[in-house]
Amino acid sequence: MLRTCTLKEASQLDGETVKVCGWVHDIRVLGKIAFIIIRDRYGLAQLTLIRSIIGKENFKKYTKLTRESVICVQGKVQKTEQAKLGFEILLESLEILSIAETPLPLGVADKVSADMETRIENRFLDLRKKEVLAVFEARSAIIQGIREYLAQEHFIEVHTPKIVATATEGGTELFPIKYFEKDAYLNQSPQLYKQILMGSGFDRVFEIAPAFRAEEHNTTRHLNEFISIDAELSFADDNDAMQILENSIKNAIKHAIESEALNALEQDIETPDKPFERVTYDDALDLINSKGYSMEWGEDFSTEALKILGKEIDDFYFITHWPLEIKPFYVLPFEEKYSKAFDLMYKDKELSSGAQRNHNYESLVNIMKQKGLNPENFEFYLRAFKYGMPPHAGWGLGLERLVMIVTGVKNIRECVLFPRDRTRLVP
């Protein structure tokens, strides 16, 4: 056994001999005594090296260790007021497992200060920082919160293909790939497949999986590969879908708070206790226009328009009753010009889009044609509407957008281990 406990576990002890492992965070030498600060995922510990105990040769060797080298040590834990951490490990023996080269391409002991490019370039080192790790601990807790809630609501977790023959919504935001002798694409969304599963009687499904968008723009809230959390439920309308989404978000935030990951980020967020506000598209439009901005009915909200809206409603809220023409073909029409589509927003950021779906075969085909799509390309999807399709509703939620809100980081790239953006394909 390399170690008997983690550094956090060691911090709870007093008088016991332990074996711990980690990275050399920092070294200070004060004559015949030296301190190595060792770090693992759970925290730091001070190793106290006394020359007369470990010998002159060892003392010299260990105090010359480079930062970020990996070591395992044995020693006795002692509570002490003198150490900043409140305890120290009095070193008995030390094993060097891996020596780090110098200089480091990116400092770990220092606060995050390097630019995003340098950080991503040296991501393995960047991820050693406690506040960077905390984003991924929060991300993990968020996924668990959503999974727990949806499972409790009897949703089946599914996986649909990511290599597909047709675009979900037409359009150009597709990555083409070669599939033997055929042309294929990376899927933009599991939309069509999760709807087919409603026709299969699965009743309630969800999927947490990558989605690929060949969007050319480089923004702080778009990635070319992101994780889409999708849910779809049968015998349900837009209100039912919104309720499931709202509860999922609340349970995600609750889990993130309970995980304590947010402490390292000094992020102060509470689980929302009130129902999310709902604003119709028309009311949002009026509100924006009343603030001196000019937006026409039927336009999508521009970044600037959303800034105005986000200032007015500075929390989670739904925008409902969207014009049919700006939403995808699969949303349910309502009162001619409108649809049963909704977006979930947080301040000025879109978090999720959803809708009650159009489950009527003829109407679906007509709307596809109106939108310039060829129904023949969607035959595999449309077939599921011809032999018994229940009314259904659902949504797609961008995991990284939610992680941004919960952790408070400003750039979506920080919420992904190895981001894929307009120019970045490695690491």
Q: Which CB atom, from 222 or from 321, has the smaller least distance to ligand ATP?
A: 222
Q: Which two tokens stand for residue 239?
A: 């209100």
Q: Under a CB-based contact definition with an 8 Å cutoff, are residues 356 and 350 in contact?
A: no
Q: Which CB atom, from 23 or from 317, has the smaller least distance to ligand ATP?
A: 317
Is 226 a binding residue for ligand ATP by CB under 6 A? The answer is: yes
215 touches, from ligand ATP, Mg ion, none (C-beta below 5 to 8 Å by class): ligand ATP
Is 169 an active-site residue? no
Sign of CA dihedral 194, 325, 367, 222: negative
Burial class (CB in 10 A: 0-12, 13-18, 19+), 272: middle
Is 327 a binding residue for ligand ATP by CB under 6 A? The answer is: no
Is 48 a binding residue for Mg ion by CB under 5 A? The answer is: no
Is 216 an active-site residue? no
Out of 51, 221, 420, 424, the active site residue is 221
Size of site (CB under 5 A) for Mg ion: 1
| 200: amino acid identity, one letter | S
Is 394 a binding residue for ligand ATP by CB under 6 A? The answer is: no
Distance (Å) of CA 289 to CA 236, 296, 298: 34, 9, 14
Ramachandran category for residue 83: left, alpha or beta (phi over 0 → left; psi -120 to 50 → alpha): beta
Q: Which residue is nearest to ligand ATP (CB)?
A: 398
Is 173 an active-site residue? no
Smallest distance, ligand ATP to C-beta of residue 192, A: 13
Q: Under a CB-based contact definition with an 8 Å cutoff, are residues 349 and 401 in contact?
A: yes
Is 207 a binding residue for ligand ATP by CB under 6 A? The answer is: no
Distance (Å) of CA 28 to CA 32, 34, 296: 11, 6, 65
Is 215 an active-site residue? yes
Distance (Å) of CA 349 to CA 354, 369, 424: 15, 31, 24
The torsion angles phi and psi of 181, rounded to 5 degrees, stand at -90, 0
Q: Which two tokens stand for residue 60?
A: 């010299």
Smallest distance, ligand ATP to C-beta of residue 316, A: 13
DSSP string, 134-198: HHHHHHHHHHHHHHHHHHHTTPEE----SEESS-SS-SS--EEEEETTEEEEE-S-SHHHHHHHH
Q: Which CB atom, from 75 or from 328, has the smaller least distance to ligand ATP?
A: 328
Is 242 a binding residue for ligand ATP by CB under 6 A? The answer is: no
Is 352 a binding residue for ligand ATP by CB under 6 A? The answer is: yes
Listed ranges 91-99, 116-124, 194-202, 347-355: which one lies at the site for ligand ATP (CB under 6 A): 347-355
Is 320 a binding residue for ligand ATP by CB under 6 A? The answer is: no
Q: Which CB atom, from 106 or from 373, has the smaller least distance to ligand ATP?
A: 373
Listed ranges 65-73, 154-162, 347-355, 376-384: which one lies at the site for Mg ion (CB under 5 A): 347-355
Is 353 a binding residue for Mg ion by CB under 5 A? The answer is: yes
234 touches, from ligand ATP, Mg ion, none (C-beta below 5 to 8 Å by class): none
Q: Which two tokens stand for residue 80?
A: 């002490």
Is 312 an active-site residue? no
Q: Which CB atom, from 137 or from 400, has the smaller least distance to ligand ATP?
A: 400
Smallest distance, ligand ATP to C-beta of residue 52, A: 58
Ramachandran category for residue 408: left, alpha or beta (phi over 0 → left; psi -120 to 50 → alpha): left
Is 251 a binding residue for Mg ion by CB under 5 A? The answer is: no
Beta bridge partners of 186: 163, 175
Size of site (CB under 6 A) for ligand ATP: 15
Out of 9, 153, 173, 215, the active site residue is 215
Q: Could you list the active site residues?
A: 213, 215, 221-222, 350, 353, 401
Residues that bind ligand ATP (CB under 6 A): 213, 215, 222-223, 226, 228, 350-353, 396-398, 400-401
